[in-house]
Amino acid sequence: MDKQDEYPLVGRADEQDILGRRLRSRQPELIALYGRRRVGKTFLVRRFFRDHLRFEMVGNSKATLREQLANFAAALTEASGLRAAPPRSWQEAFADLIRWLEQKKGGGRLVIFFDEFPWLASPRSRFVPAFEQFWNAWASTRADIVVVIAGSAAAWMIRNVVGDRGGLHGRVTQSLQVPPFKLHETRAFLKSRGVSWKNHQILELHMALGGIPFYLALVRGDTSAAQNLDRLCFAANAPLAGEFRRLWASLFDNHQDHLKIIAALAGRREGMTRDELLQATGLSSGGGNSAILEELDASGFLDIAPPFGRTSRDAIYRLIDEFSLFHHTWMQRPARSGSRDHWMQIRNTPRWRTWSGHAFEMACLKHGDSLRQALGISGVRTESSTWRSRGGKGSEPGAQIDLLIDRADGVINLCEMKHVEEEFVIDRKYAEVLRRKREVFQRATGTKKTLFLTMVTTVGVKANEWRNELIQSTVEMDALFEK
């Protein structure tokens, strides 16, 4: 028994609902799953379809055609119990698979799973034409067949499968992006592995590693989040020390320009426009770099949103991948302390507070539904965006609002997000900052809507005269853990 079989399938309620409807349909299904490396695509398919999975093959990065075909023969041998000779081509391979599946009629749904599909479709392999023939000429005629294909190269999957203009055009019956866990799923996953922590510990871990099941499975429940980060990222032979390099090598063959964009955004908490980003990285404005931005967006590394009152041409690009931010802030620089508790020592330093503030903002942006529920506006049509005014000599002073929620009921929530260890205290100086932001926003945008200043913090806002005067609503960290 695979060790993974010891663990339950946690979270993924929406994904399980979608897959369940496809499994219960009375027609052939071609399901395309995509999502970044380590996000749990394979585990989801294996566990959800475990009673129906009849054949599975995993593509091998950098393998030759001969090696891939040998792997196919091994997978067919394991599935059928009969020794299969390596086929000479993918066309022959699919003919072998069809012959065996023809013998399985009448046994309910038959799920065929090709994992890391892009790695099978190497140049000159002729895999894609053979797969197209397999689906179009045979599998699409069988009401008992469910074919699942998955890949970590999300942009490749979207371009060559979901949006294909050739033999697979319009053939995919369900495309499904598998995202990292939200906070409530992270908590449930850790609990299923025997890790029972309070929310503030889970939040700290999530801000560093994100909701990536592979990373979370390495966590030990007998130590704190900070101790786990020391062991996983900074200790000698740390399991995640080389993960950033492995991650990008698995996603894109030529990823140096991708990494320039990630590095630039990691240093800009407020995000950048496209022009600012290209200037900071030295990249041109050509179509190739537009494709790179699209790939990073499709792979879940970027949030791209137009500022309040602007069009998509003025979109702000922000990094929203927690592990990428953590790597660029901490892991790419050698630990100077030389101690086993490097992370423990730098917690609560000014640099740590800057990182934690940025990472907490990312968590808030990713949990917009939870924020709206906490504010009691989940039933109101809303649009979330950012806004900034540079100001300048002889004009309005500059101001930045990282999250505003524009509501159909005539209100805009201007959200301030603060990661703090104790109740956040609004003093006279910060009260003036809040007043200025509100006033600059109202004058610059000319909005007639009512403006509510909203504080989103880890442990609340201390009651005092400035809180009572300025803040209309507060949201605490625990609300982000609600479904």
Q: Which two tokens stand for residue 266?
A: 């990691």
Q: How far apart are CA 296 and CA 483, in angstroms?
A: 26
pLDDT in tens, the chain (483 residues): 445 557 889 999 999 999 999 999 999 999 999 998 899 999 999 999 999 999 999 999 889 999 999 999 999 999 999 888 999 999 999 999 999 999 887 779 999 999 999 999 988 899 999 999 999 999 999 999 999 999 988 888 888 888 777 778 789 999 999 999 999 999 999 999 999 999 999 999 999 999 999 999 999 999 999 999 999 999 989 999 999 998 988 888 788 999 999 999 999 988 999 999 999 999 888 777 888 898 898 888 999 988 898 888 889 999 999 999 999 999 986 554 445 678 888 887 999 999 999 999 999 999 999 999 999 999 999 999 999 887 665 566 778 898 999 999 999 999 999 999 999 999 999 999 999 999 999 999 999 999 999 999 999 999 999 999 999 999 999 999 998
Looking at the fold, whether 14 and 145 belong to one and the same domain comes out as: yes
Q: How far apart are CA 129 and CA 137, in angstroms?
A: 12
Looking at the fold, whether 37 and 164 belong to one and the same domain comes out as: yes
Residue 273 has a pLDDT of 92
Looking at the fold, whether 60 and 162 belong to one and the same domain comes out as: yes
∠ CA 362-366-370, rounded to 5°: 120
Residue 395 has a pLDDT of 61
CATH number at residue 132: 3.40.50.300
Residues facing 114 on adjacent strands: 57, 149
How many CB atoms neighbour CB 108 within 10 A? 11
Residue 396 has a pLDDT of 61
Q: Whose CA is closest to 238, among 346, 353, 342, 348? A: 342
Looking at the fold, whether 11 and 142 belong to one and the same domain comes out as: yes
Residue 231 is classified by DSSP as I
DSSP β-ladder status, 382-389 and 471-476: unpaired
Q: How far apart are CA 386 and CA 469, in angstroms?
A: 24
Residue 277 has a pLDDT of 93
Residue 203 is classified by DSSP as H
Looking at the fold, whether 236 and 382 belong to one and the same domain comes out as: no
Residue type, 398: G
Q: How far apart are CA 350 and CA 356, in angstroms?
A: 10
Q: How far apart are CA 114 and CA 90, in angstroms?
A: 13
How many CB atoms neighbour CB 224 within 10 A? 15
Burial 22-34 (b: 16+ CB within 10 A, else e): bbeeeebbbbbbb
Q: Whose CA is closest to 400, among 390, 412, 410? A: 390
Residue 19 has a pLDDT of 98
Residue 337 has a pLDDT of 46
Looking at the fold, whether 36 and 128 belong to one and the same domain comes out as: yes
CATH number at residue 411: 3.40.1350.10
Q: Which two tokens stand for residue 324?
A: 């990428």
3-state secondary structure 316-357: EEEECCHHHHHHHHHHCCCCCCCCCCHHHHHCCCHHHHHHHH
| Residue 203 belongs to domain spanning | 183-241+334-360
Looking at the fold, whether 210 and 339 belong to one and the same domain comes out as: yes
∠ CA 263-315-204, rounded to 5°: 50
Looking at the fold, whether 279 and 253 belong to one and the same domain comes out as: yes
| Domain tally, the chain | 4
Looking at the fold, whether 281 and 411 belong to one and the same domain comes out as: no
Looking at the fold, whether 103 and 164 belong to one and the same domain comes out as: yes
Residue 145 is classified by DSSP as E
Mark out the alpha helices in 81-147 (DSSP H runs).
Answer: 90-101, 117-120, 127-137
Q: How far apart are CA 338 and CA 334, in angstroms?
A: 9
Looking at the fold, whether 172 and 193 belong to one and the same domain comes out as: no
Residue 105 has a pLDDT of 79
Looking at the fold, whether 156 and 249 belong to one and the same domain comes out as: no
Whether this prediction's pTM lies above 0.85 is answered by yes
Answer yes or no: are the C-beta atoms of 417 and 434 closer than 8 Å.
no
